[in-house]
Amino acid sequence: MYKVQKISVLTSFLGIWLTSYLSNTNQLFLGFFLIFTFGILHGANDLVLISQLKNKKKRNFITILISYVAVVLISALLFIKIPIIALTLFILVSAYHFGEQHWQDLIIDGNRIITKIFQFMYGLAILLSLFTFNKQEVIEIVFKITAIAITEKTISSVFFLVIVLFLIHTYILYKNSISFKKIIIEQLFYMMLLCLVFKVSSLIWGFTIYFIFWHSIPSLNDQIQFLYGKYSFSNFKKYFKSAFLYWIISLVGISTLYFVSKDMIIFDSLFFSFLASITFPHAIVILKMFEK
C-alpha cells in the first residue's frame, strides 16, 4: 500500500508539471483518456468480484448481471427525474468510496464506526477541496445537470463546514487509533499536495490526477490481490482479460453519449451522470470486497 502511495505522490508532481505545458483543452482530452482507460477499467470487473463474493451461494451469473444493470438503470433514472437528489447521492457515495479505498489498509485498529465516519469525511474533504479550487466549472456543471444555480459562497460555506468536521473526526480517531497516529502527519501532507494539484489544475485534470493515481490504480491493486492472491503483471493480465468485454461495453456507452450529445457542453453533464450511474453499484461491490 505504501509503495502505491509513493507512486501516487510522484505522479501528482508529474501532473502539476504537465499543467504548465498543457492547455486547458489538452488537459481535458488527456484527462478523459485516462478516465476512459484506467478509470473505467478499475470498475469493469465488478461482476467477477460479485461472483467471487457470492461463490458460496452459487448465484446464477444472469441473476447477478440483471441485478447490477438494474442498479445502473435506477441510478440513471434518478438523474433524469430528480437530478439534484441523484447528484447529491453521487457525491456522498463517492466520498465514502474514495475514503474507504484510501484508508482501508492504513488503519488497522480503533473503533470501527469512528473509522468509517472518518473515511467518509476524508473523501468529502477531498471532493470539496476539488470543488472549491474550481468553483466556476463546478457551478456550470451542476447547472447543466440540475438546472439549479449554486453560488461560490455556497461552495465555500460547505467546504468550511466539511473541513471543520473532518478535523474533528481526525482528532477523535487520533485518540482511538495507534496506527493512525503513526501516519496522520504524512497523510495530511498528501492532502495538502492534492490541494496544490487542484489549485493549479482545471476541474477535469485535477479530478483525473486524484481519480486515476490516488484511487483507480490502488483499487486495481486491491482487486487483483483479492481475486488472485497477490499483485503481479501476469495477474494484471488475467484481470484485464476478464474485464475487457465490460470495459469495451462501457466505452461504447460513453461514445454513444458523445455522438448523441453532439457537443462538449451537453457531454459534460451526460458524462458525469454516466460516471455516477456506474459508481453506485461499484461502490457497493468494493464495500463487500473489503468486508470479506
| All cell numbers assigned to 280 | 453506485
Residue 209 has what pLDDT?
94
Average pLDDT, stretch 258-273? 63
The residue behind cell 457497493 is 284
Q: Where residue 268 falls among pLDDT bands split at 50, 70, 90?
A: low
Describe the chain by its helix, strand, coil percentages, rounded to 5.
Answer: 85, 0, 15
Taken in order 158, 82, 202, 102, is the CA torsion positive or negative?
A: positive
Q: CA of 99: how far to CAs of 95, 220, 233, in Å?
A: 6, 15, 26
Taken in order 240, 218, 198, 97, is the CA torsion positive or negative?
A: positive
Residue 63 has what pLDDT?
75
Residue 214 has what pLDDT?
94
Long-range contacts of 176-179 (CB under 8 A, 24+ apart): 176/110, 176/111, 176/114, 177/107, 177/109, 177/110, 177/115, 178/109, 178/110, 179/106, 179/107, 179/108, 179/109, 179/110
| All cell numbers assigned to 275 | 460516471
Residue 164: pLDDT over 90: yes
- The rounded distance, in Å, linking the Cα atoms of 188 and 185 is 5
Residue 250 has what pLDDT?
79
Residue 272: pLDDT over 80: no
- The rounded distance, in Å, linking the Cα atoms of 91 and 103 is 18
Residue 269 has what pLDDT?
62
Residues in the chain: 292
Structure confidence by residue, pLDDT tens digits, 94-136: 999 999 999 988 888 878 899 999 999 999 999 999 999 999 9
- The rounded distance, in Å, linking the Cα atoms of 289 and 104 is 11
Structure confidence by residue, pLDDT tens digits, 52-94: 776 545 556 677 777 777 877 787 788 778 888 888 988 999 9
Residues 6 or more apart whose Cβ sits within 8 Å of residue 206 = 130, 133, 134, 197, 198
Structure confidence by residue, pLDDT tens digits, 172-199: 999 989 999 999 999 999 999 999 999 9
Alpha-carbon radius of gyration of the chain: 19
Percent of the chain with pLDDT over 70: 90
Average pLDDT, stretch 132-160? 93
- pLDDT higher for 154 or 67? 154
- pLDDT higher for 256 or 164? 164
- The rounded distance, in Å, linking the Cα atoms of 123 and 141 is 20
Q: Where residue 234 falls among pLDDT bands split at 50, 70, 90?
A: very high
Residue 257: pLDDT over 70: no
Structure confidence by residue, pLDDT tens digits, 6-65: 888 899 999 899 988 888 888 888 988 898 888 888 887 887 787 777 654 555 667 777
Give the pTM: 0.88
Residue 60 phi/psi, 5° resolution?
A: -65, 135
